[in-house]
Every structure is written in C-alpha cells, then in structure tokens.
C-alpha cells in the first residue's frame, strides 16, 4: 500500500483527534526516519522529545527482546526485578527517594497532584486546598493534568475540571506570591515550558519559588517530562538552578519510545501516600522498566550529557545565523537540545515545507518552530538540518 492508501484507511477507523502530517512512517535508523514509500527524513522532532537514543539502537532493542522472552507483565501485586533496578537508577539520577512508575507523562502529573493534596490533607484534614499553576503551561490532557494546563482552548469543552487551581504568570514571582494563601498546597511548573513556546524558567523565578515553598510548607512540583532526561545538558533541568523540587514528573525519553513515566518524590512528601492511595495495572511492568534500565546504561556509555552540551552550543550558533539571515525569524530561545525559533510567517506552513524537503521539526504554540532532536545528533546533522531549514524558509 502507498502512503495515501494507508492514510485513507486510518481516517476510516481512528478517532479524529489528531491533525496528522501527510506521511506514514515505517522505520528508522540513527537520526533518520523513512516512510512507507521509502523517502528519508532527518528527524529533529524525536517523537516529541522521546527518542533520545535515536532509532534502531541494537543494545536498546536487544534488551527489550530479551525481556519479552522472559516476562512482560506481572501487575503490581508482585515485585519484579527490572522495576526495582529501574527505580534505583531513577532515584539516583534525580537525587530523590521514592519512585512511582506510570504509563505516561500525563499520569505522572496526576500522581504529583495527588501526592501534594494528600500531604496537605494530612497536615490539616481539609479538602479545599489550592494549587498554583502557570499560564501557557501544558501538563497533559486527562482531567487532572488538564486542570493545571494554562490554556483555556484545551480546557473549555471539558469543564468542570478539578477545582482549586489558580494560574500565575510564568517567570513572574510577584504573580505567584499574590496567589498564595493558607490553602495553597502546591506550585507546579515546567522547568522549561514546551508547548507554550520553549521558555526556560529564570534562575530568580525558580529560586524564589523554592524559598516560598520552604517558608509555607508548600509542595514544589517540576514538570520535567519534556525537558528532563538530558535534553538541556543536565540529566534534569532543575539542576541548572541549584535547587531541588519536592516532586518531579518524568516521561518521554525515560523509556525512549516505550510508554513509561514516573513521579519521583523526596521522603517527606512520599510518606503521605499509603497502600490504596494510588495504583496502576501496567505501571512499572517488567518490559517498560527494562527500557528504563537500558536507557540509563546507554546514557552513561554514550556520554549523552557531554554530547548534548557540545552539540547544543553549535546548534545555537547555527540557529542564530538563521535569525540573522531571515526577516521572518525573529529570535531563538531554549536550553540545550530544546530550542525554538520565533517566526512571523505561519509556523504550520514552515513545518510542512520542511517535511516536504526531508526534515521533521514541529511547532510549539502559534509562532515557534521547535527543535528537539535525538540526543545523539552530531555537528554534521546540525549542518544538514540548517541547510534544509534555510531552503524551507
């Protein structure tokens, strides 16, 4: 079947919640993807910042194949070895104490919300606690995660959402402080806003939130789903700021394509949760956590963080060239291999043109080209991407 024929079949049976691009991907190798018609694409989207190790990595594939032959699922009625080892590695990488594995980033946010509310409930027995989230944020599409997503467009058709959510301005600490009261139980934000337009948090903003949470015994939650797992040059983006949140949400590159997420907490907050408070049938199953284990092993073996820090500097230089050369590209912003170009022409048109020229990039918000490539990219990959991007612009 051709791409067109596959797409026609898809539209007959799949729920139409995605406006997909007009290609049907078939296989990948390294930083390249191929559609069913054999066309090659340089991938600077990585499945929305997921495929950090690139495609068709033999060591990654072999680890999953070995686990499939051994044990795929047990439920959380029993212990399993891959989950124990993966939890140890994630706890070590984050510097936190307790891990709960989920199936997605959205579920990680749900757990983070619940653990914060349970912690507050045990302090005063009240159920009217409030959470401060950020405008233009994105945390997921389930009702809880949607409730803390600061975009009315996503929320409006699905109200009423969970109550007690207030929205502050990102990187405006006075806006946050003005919303804090005796009911505030958590402050949640993306360390680098993704869907909202690739906005890194400022150092002052993060440190002031940490100080505020310490003073008021408020749970500080960082959403590291997209910006975590090495993408900004640190294993987790909060490390750039010299602070530690109380809870973080992780997913995407944690499993490099295998659906797995986690919320991770310090012991103080984690102690609020007891058996029966939270659960999941699939979360932390042997196959998903086998992926987590090999991801951490390969990050170390391939010196992923070193590569991100080296190549991202070169990427920034080349993107700045694009800003200087094209009138319809206003600025660049981002951190590490999470970069955005602010454009004045329709971002969707540019993305489509790039695809037709063999480059996969995506948008963020209404006016940002988002570049979140696999973390194994080289300078040569950057040069090729720039050539296609300039041609497309």
CA nearest neighbour of 300 among 57, 30, 89: 89
Q: CA 50 to CA 143: how far, in whole Å?
A: 23
Class in CATH terms, 60-301: alpha beta
CA nearest neighbour of 231 among 309, 289, 295: 309
CA nearest neighbour of 167 among 151, 192, 181, 150: 150
pLDDT in tens, the chain (393 residues): 889 999 999 999 999 999 999 999 999 999 999 999 999 999 999 999 999 999 999 999 999 999 999 999 999 999 999 999 999 999 999 999 999 999 999 999 999 999 999 999 999 999 999 999 999 999 999 999 999 999 998 999 999 999 999 999 999 999 999 999 999 999 999 999 999 999 999 999 999 999 999 999 999 999 999 999 999 999 999 999 999 999 999 999 999 999 999 999 999 999 999 999 999 999 999 999 999 999 999 999 999 999 999 999 999 999 999 999 999 999 999 999 999 999 999 999 999 999 999 999 999 988 999 999 999 999 999 999 999 999 999
Do 3-56+303-392 and 60-301 come out as alike in CATH topology?
Answer: no
**Domain locations in the chain as residue ranges:** 3-56+303-392, 60-301
Encode the chain in three state secondary structure.
Answer: CCHHHHHHHHHHHCCCCCCCCCCCEEEEEECEEEECCCCEEEECCHHHHCCCCCECCHHHHHHHHHHHHHCCCCCCCCCCHHHHHHHHHHHHHHCCCEEEEECCHHHHHHHHHHHHHHHHHHHHCCCCCEEEEEECCCCCCCHHHHHCCECHHHHHHHCCCCCCEEEECCCCHHHHHCCCCCCEEEEEEECEECCCCCEECCHHHHHHHHHHHHHHCCEEEEECCCCCCCCCCCCCHHHHHCCCCCEEEECHHHCCCCCCEEEEECHHHHCCCCCCCCCCCCCCCHHHHHHHHHHHHHHHHCCHHHHHHHHHHHHHHHHHHHHHHCCCEEEEEEECCEEEEEECCCHHHHHHHHHHCCEECEEECCCEEEECCCCCCCHHHHHHHHHHHHHHC
Class in CATH terms, 3-56+303-392: alpha beta
Structure tokens at 125: 């027995």
First to last CA, the chain: 32
The pTM score is 0.96
Q: Which residues have C-beta within 8 Å of that of residue 331, sequence separation ≥ 6?
A: 323, 341, 342
Give the model's pLDDT for residue 367.
Answer: 95
Give CA 98 to chain center in angstroms.
20
């Amino acid at each position: 079947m051709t791409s067109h024929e596959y797409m026609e079949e898809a539209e007959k049976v799949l729920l139409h919640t995605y406006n997909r691009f007009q290609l049907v991907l078939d296989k990948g190798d390294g930083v390249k993807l191929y559609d069913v018609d054999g066309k090659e694409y340089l991938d600077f989207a990585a499945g929305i910042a997921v495929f950090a190790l690139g495609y068709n990595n033999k060591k990654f594939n072999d680890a999953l194949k070995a686990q499939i032959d051994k044990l795929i699922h047990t439920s959380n009625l029993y212990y399993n070895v891959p989950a124990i080892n993966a939890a140890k590695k994630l706890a070590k990488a984050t510097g936190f104490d307790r891990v709960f594995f989920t199936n997605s980033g959205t579920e990680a946010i749900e757990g983070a919300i619940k653990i914060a509310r349970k912690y507050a409930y045990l302090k005063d027995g009240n159920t009217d606690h409030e959470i401060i989230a950020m405008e233009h944020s994105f945390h997921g599409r389930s009702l809880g995660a949607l409730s803390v997503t600061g975009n009315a467009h996503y929320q409006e058709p699905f109200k009423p959402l969970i109550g007690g959510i207030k929205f502050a301005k990102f990187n405006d600490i006075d806006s946050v402080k003005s919303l804090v009261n005796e009911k505030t139980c958590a402050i949640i934000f993306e360390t680098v806003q993704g869907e909202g337009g690739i906005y890194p948090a400022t150092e002052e903003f993060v440190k002031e939130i940490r100080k505020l949470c310490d003073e008021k015994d408020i749970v500080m939650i960082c959403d590291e789903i997209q910006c975590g797992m090495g993408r900004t040059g640190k294993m987790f983006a909060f490390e750039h700021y010299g602070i530690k949140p109380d809870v973080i949400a992780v997913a995407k590159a944690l499993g490099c394509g295998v659906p797995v997420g986690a919320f991770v907490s310090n012991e103080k907050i984690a102690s609020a949760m007891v058996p029966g408070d939270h659960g999941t049938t699939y979360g932390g199953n042997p196959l998903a956590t086998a992926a987590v284990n090999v991801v951490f092993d390969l990050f170390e073996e391939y010196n992923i963080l070193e590569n991100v820090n080296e190549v991202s500097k070169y990427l920034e230089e080349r993107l700045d060239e694009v800003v200087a050369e094209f009138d319809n590209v206003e600025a660049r912003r981002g951190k590490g291999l999470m970069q955005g170009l602010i454009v004045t022409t329709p971002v969707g048109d540019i993305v489509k043109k790039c695809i037709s020229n063999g480059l996969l990039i995506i948008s963020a918000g209404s006016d940002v080209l988002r570049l979140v490539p696999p973390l194994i990219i080289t300078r040569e990959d950057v040069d090729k991407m720039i050539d296609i991007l300039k041609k497309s612009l």
